[in-house]
């Protein structure tokens, strides 16, 4: 009998693995893959100031080519459980839909690639013509410090070399087969700080209101585009998300104003060149009269792109054969663990439709789980064919 992605997904959904809790999800995968002949390693990584995270690596085969599937079993919190049609960790099936936190992002995708790998092995004497592996982490939904970056470093230290990777994040926009992600913009968080001089509002000449300065700089930073996009990426965008002075007194001019922002940037910039650009624009707008500083948060979210080629064509053809749709090769959306994997091998993202991810009543059509498993199976067959 072929492996059942629905049953695998239900068992994974019943594991309450809210970041960084393992919740039984890795233990379940270990049992399934060991039974199929995979060698499984589980390791916990630590970092001062961050929670410990358990991770998982499983491989079958010792030769090249080596195809790895990557993903995460951790999920975001459920929100108000009473608002769910079905309990978020029940794995309930209703009207052709599988409900549960992580159904789309991304336990459903993991279930499909596991089922596809098991089916391929069963049809080929239990061994691939190369190697198949799984890189599974437990903190993708958090700060991604003790997960994929360290798991990849561990693999490299142990002589593991990957030729290509498929990350099963929910890449599709509206229907299965419409989008393959081949890249992601980078992300940079920061705070603009303007320093003034406090004083009574009735005597503004004795004070220096930082609110005036921060409004001027915000306008200057947003009035001109960061770039016009590139051949593979949409334009970068800077969005201010808070403006704070911490002032509870209406007749007091504050001495400091802060504005937090996020930038999603393309391959026209690096993290360092982007910081320099902001400093230049703010300095020009200040005219030497506004005291300002930027405080940038540490970022491991750089921009990357996997250039179209034989591997992306193989994946695209497999998707088209199953769905009848030629998927768009896209670089839109937020960050993912692909930003780490790209330093080790070419990576593409293809998974389920992302419309209900992180939402109340997160769910996936049973038909999509079966179709995605068929797509992954075709990819594996073509890859080793």
Length of the chain: 385
* Residue 247 near residue 254 (C-beta atoms within 8 A): yes
Helix (H/G/I), strand (E/B), else coil: 217: helix
Q: Smallest Cα–Cα separation from 129: which of 61, 71, 216?
A: 61
Catalytic choice (11, 22, 54, 74): 74
Tokens of 199: 């004083």
168 contact partners, CB below 8 Å, separation of at least 6: 69, 70, 71, 106, 109, 110, 112, 113, 349, 350, 351
Catalytic choice (140, 160, 256, 337): 140
| Helices within 158-236 (DSSP H only) | 210-223
Measured between alpha carbons, how far is 257 from 214 in angstroms, rounded to an integer? 7
Measured between alpha carbons, how far is 72 from 147 in angstroms, rounded to an integer? 9
DSSP result, 74-100: -B-----GGGSSS-TTS--EETTEEES
Quote the distance between the C-alpha of residue 18 and its chain's center: 16
Question: What sign does the dihedral 83-88-94-95 (CA atoms) show?
Answer: positive
368 is catalytic: no
CA distances from 196 to 84, 209, 238 (A): 49, 6, 24
Q: Which residues pair with 60 in a beta bridge?
A: 132
Tokens of 261: 């922002």
74 is catalytic: yes
Question: What sign does the dihedral 262-267-271-275 (CA atoms) show?
Answer: negative
* Residue 50 near residue 145 (C-beta atoms within 8 A): yes
Active site residues: 74, 140
């Amino acid at each position: 009998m072929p492996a059942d992605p629905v049953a695998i997904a239900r068992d994974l959904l019943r594991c309450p693995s809210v970041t960084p809790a393992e919740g039984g999800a890795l233990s379940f995968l270990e049992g399934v893959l060991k039974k199929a002949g995979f060698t499984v390693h589980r390791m916990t990584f630590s970092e001062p100031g961050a929670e410990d995270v358990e991770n998982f690596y499983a491989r079958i085969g010792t030769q090249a080519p080596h195809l790895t599937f990557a993903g995460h079993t951790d999920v975001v919190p459920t929100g108000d459980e009473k608002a769910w049609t079905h309990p978020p960790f029940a794995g309930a099936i209703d009207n052709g839909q599988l409900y549960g936190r992580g159904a789309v992002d991304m336990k459903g995708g993991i279930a499909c690639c596991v089922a596809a790998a098991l089916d391929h092995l069963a049809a080929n004497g239990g061994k691939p013509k190369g190697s198949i592996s799984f890189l599974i982490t437990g903190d993708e939904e958090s700060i991604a410090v003790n997960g994929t970056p360290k798991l990849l470093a561990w693999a490299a230290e142990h002589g593991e070399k990957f030729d290509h990777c498929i990350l099963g994040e929910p890449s599709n926009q509206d229907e299965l087969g419409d989008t393959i992600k081949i890249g992601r913009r980078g992300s940079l968080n920061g705070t603009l700080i303007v320093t003034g001089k406090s004083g009574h509002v009735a005597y503004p000449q004795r004070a220096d209101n930082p609110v005036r300065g921060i409004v001027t700089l915000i306008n200057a930073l947003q009035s001109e585009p960061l770039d016009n996009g590139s051949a593979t990426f949409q334009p970068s965008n800077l969005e201010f998300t808070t403006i704070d002075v911490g002032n509870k007194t209406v007749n007091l001019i504050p001495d400091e104003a802060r504005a937090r922002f996020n930038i999603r940037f393309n391959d026209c910039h690096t993290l360092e060149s982007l910081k320099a650009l902001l400093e230049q624009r703010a300095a020009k707008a200040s005219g030497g009269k506004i005291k300002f500083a930027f405080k940038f948060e540490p970022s491991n979210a750089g921009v990357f792109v996997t250039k179209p080629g034989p591997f992306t064509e193989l994946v695209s053809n497999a998707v088209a054969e199953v769905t009848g749709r030629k998927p768009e090769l896209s670089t839109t959306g937020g960050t993912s663990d692909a930003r780490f994997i790209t330093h080790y091998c070419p990576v593409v993202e293809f998974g389920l439709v992302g419309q209900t991810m992180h939402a109340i009543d997160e769910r996936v059509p049973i038909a999509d789980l079966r179709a995605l498993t068929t797509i992954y199976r075709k990819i594996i067959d073509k890859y080793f064919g």
